[in-house]
Structure 1
Amino acid sequence: MSLDPATAAAALPQHPAQLGFATGTGYLSACTAGLPTAATTTAMRAFIDDWAAGRADARALGEQAERCRALFATIAGVTADRVAIGSQVSQLVSVVASSVPDGAEVLCAAGDFSSLTHPFEQLAHRGVRVRYAPVSQLAHEISADTALVVFSLVQSATGEVADAEPIRLAAARTGARTLVDLTQSLGWLPTGASAFDFTVCHAYKWLCAPRGTAFLTVRAGLEDELVPVAAGWYSADDVWGSCYAGHTPLAAGAGRFDVSPAWPVLGGTEAALAGIASLEPGTVHARNLALANAARNTLGLPPGNSAIVAWADPQGNDLAALTAGGITASGRAGNARIAFHLWNTAADVELLARALRR
């Protein structure tokens, strides 16, 4: 059961500044990009200052990357050796895609984000078939021919939350693997990576990190099913001993799928993940969902189970009214789309009502 808006707003500090956010009123777009805390912006400025002064320390940055790995593992509910570091979701998905057997079927959610599905569409020359079904029907669509089931836990365009457990069980019965994108869920929905064979997540949305750090998780024992097609100097357990040809061992765990991390965003990523990891996931979930359902009530929509609220707006009229009313929102696939996260309060629902005159 959802909390009422007043109870939800009291579940975390009322004002964004108390959470470390400089602002946030009217920003209803965590589904597009999260906002940084003061700790995140301070850390990113510190890197620039160090870089400009010639103080950037590659080994210290490597240690920072490992702390990011550990923090993400905590948030995702897996051990750090199950986590690989990348820069973009599509690059990490491509590692899984390149390992799909010739002639296999990949079952994807219809209308899912293209960074998750596009890499598989490039495999037609190997006879790989990509089939689409509504995310609500994926569990029923898995067949003996399905090698991999691919879906976002929360759909980007609509905010629909997948009923993941029946999909997972149906895949297990046929021997299909699962690849799940957590980019639109991790940080507000308390479902981690441990139930799935592979997951990907970019940290710049609900985890409030700067853009440029993404993560792949690989279930224990499945490393050898994947080919580290982007292997480089960072794909070993001892990265500094593996810089040059002739000695390039792979890491024992998921680290073999690492690419060299983007140094300028590591400090901000660490600060952001540390902040998210310090919060109680159930409280964040209840608060975000209560505010989203208060917005649905304002919009005349039934209650839902997602922090993302989307409704038909084919001409963009509502999106234009939101923008004119001081609200940052987004339009996707003919919908207007808003979202509620840590910096939002009941005041944002009131601002929504005024902007749309509801």
Structure 2
Amino acid sequence: MGSVEFEGLWDPEPGWLNTASYGLPPRPAWEALQAALSDWRVGATSWEPWDESTIRAREAFARLVGADAGDVFVGSTVSAALAPIATALADGSKVLTDDVEFTSNVFPWKVHEDRGVEVVAVPGSELVAAIQPGIDLVAVSAVQSSTGVVLDLSAVIAASKKIGALVVIDASQALGWLPLTVDGIDALVAHTYKWMMSPRGATLGYLSPRLQERCRPSAAGWYAGADVHGSYYGTRMELAPGARKFDQSPAWFSFVGAAPALELIEQIGVETIHRHNLELANEFRAGLNLPPSNSAIVSTSLPGAQEAFEAAGIRAAVRDGKLRASFHIYTTLADVHEALTALKPLT
């Protein structure tokens, strides 16, 4: 799908530079959600047609990350998705993370400190060097939320493999624009409401077969059953094979919106989105006299930037005291130039 074909699939108000906070729905996702809400309002259908979207989203996610759909589970939040992995860690395990890691990939490990699990945080530039014997698990984001720094994933995987450490990746700020696969990764979890442009409440994750064997599906409910319709009542439990036993009962409408959005990302192509996003992010960086980067997120200290953006109607974010602007497939060159014009008096 070329750029001309997909340009009209979004309806952004000019000046939206905040996809790192939440993405804007493409028209197929928005329309599917409105149709489901209309059916819900009048009781026009059972829930099974909505649940078909969960299956479609699982399969699209698996294709995006190069995984088998049988190794993909569904849920609602990143932290809840990571909880079974944290519970499976042995007492006294050591977890390594980035010192600016988003807490959804920190707190699930830290709540086990009472049984000796230790979370060690180092600056991102020192992370690979810190993957040394004694580290049991590396928990880190593929792209950092506050800074936009893109992880050297291959280096992290190689260093972790040498010492037998597990690799757990939060891809919430990466999937949808950054090409990556699960090769060499033990767990990859991502919420879809940012770069995958879906409603909040649809999280998907990959669990390697070896990690599935180590983890207890402690949040198992009827939806984790081998036969969901046969798992409503009673004490007989037969859980689904593969990663589906880790499913949390899905928020139907979130997945109704997620399935078309994920499928559209496939149609456009992550490489195409990646190229588009970096071109605009680096155009913005050049206008601020910053060197080019490999990230769709630009983080910079510029006193007065937040006020200048607000006055011009530009919607971005401030994270860790810095201006954070993020550029996605619906961002235009006009958005970039409008933002630079607003900041020009400050540069």
Which TM-score bucket, shorter chain as reference? Answer: over 0.9
Deviations 1:134-158 (A, max 9, x none): 2222221112211110000100000
**Inter-partner Cα distance in structure 1 for 2:201 and 2:326:** 22
1:181 paired with 2:170, answer yes
- SS of the equivalent of 2:125 reads helix
Residue in 1 aligned with 2:284?
295
1:28 Cα offset (Å): 0.6
Letter of the 1:176 partner, please give it: A
* Counterpart position of 1:12: 3
- Contact kept, 8 Å, 2:50 with 2:253, in 1: the verdict is no
Query: How many percent identity over aligned positions?
Result: 37
Any gaps of 5 or more consecutive residues in structure 2?
Answer: none
Show the counterpart of 1:350.
Answer: 337
User: What residue in structure 2 maps to residue 73 of structure 1?
Assistant: 62
User: After superposition, where does 1:262-277 map in structure 2 within 5 Å?
Assistant: 262-277=251-266
Distance 2:193 2:83 in 1: 20
Quote the residue 1:255 is aligned against: 244
2:32 corresponds to: 43
User: 1:285 corresponds to which residue?
Assistant: 274
Aligned partner of 1:286: which letter?
R
CA offsets per residue over residues 27-56 of structure 1, 9 Å max, x none?
111111000112111111111111111123
| TM superposition shift of 1:337 | 0.3
> C-alpha displacement at 1:24, in angstroms?
4.6
In structure 2, give the amino acid aligned to 1:117. V
Residue identity in the other structure for 1:335:
K
- Tell me if 1:221 matches 2:210: yes
Distance apart, 1:14 and its partner CA = 8.9
Q: Deviations over 1:92-132 (max 9, x none)?
A: 11121111111110111111101110111111111111101
- Secondary structure class of the residue paired with 1:130: strand
Larger mean Cα displacement after TM superposition, 330-339 or 130-139? 130-139
| Partners of 1:135 and 1:151 within 8 A in 2 | no
CA distance in 1: counterparts of 2:134 and 2:271, whole angstroms: 38
Letter in 2 for 1:263: W
Larger displacement relative to structure 2 (85-94 or 191-200) = 191-200
How far 1:335 sits from its partner (Å)? 0.8
- Between the two proteins, the alignment pairs up a number of residues equal to 345
Instruction: Measure the CA separation in 2 of the matches of 1:116 and 1:220.
Output: 21
More deviation in 218-227 or 181-190?
Answer: 218-227
TM-score by length of 2: 0.96
* Residue number in structure 1 paired with 2:223: 234
Q: Is 1:32 aligned to residue 21 of structure 2?
A: yes
Q: Provide the C-alpha distance between the structure 2 equivalents of 1:186 and 1:193, rounded to a whole number of angstroms.
A: 11
Aligned partner letter, 1:177: L
* 1:205 and 2:167 aligned: no
In 2, distance between residues paired with 1:59 and 1:349?
A: 43
1:199-240 CA deviation, whole Å, 9 max, x = no partner? Answer: 110000000001110011111232111111111111123211
1:77 deviates by 1.6
Write the letter of the residue equivalent to 1:354.
T
Aligned residue number for residue 315 of structure 2: 328
AA matched with 2:332: T
> Helix, strand or coil for the counterpart of 2:238?
coil
Cα offset, 1:193, TM superposition: 2.6
CA shift at 1:174, angstroms? 0.7
* TM-score between both structures, scaled by the size of structure 1: 0.93
Is the contact made by 1:29 and 1:328 (CA closer than 8 Å) also made in structure 2?
Answer: yes
In the aligned structure 1, how far is the partner of 2:257 from the partner of 2:138? 33
Distance (whole Å) between structure 1 residues aligned to residue 177 and residue 123 of structure 2: 23
1:271 match: secondary structure: helix
- Distance in 2 (CA, whole Å) between partners of 1:338 and 1:12 is 22
Secondary structure, aligned partner of 2:67: coil
**Take 1:59 and 1:130, find their aligned partners in 2: how far apart are those partners?**
42
1:247 Cα offset (Å): 2.3
In the alignment, what sits opposite 1:194? 183
Partner of 2:305: 318
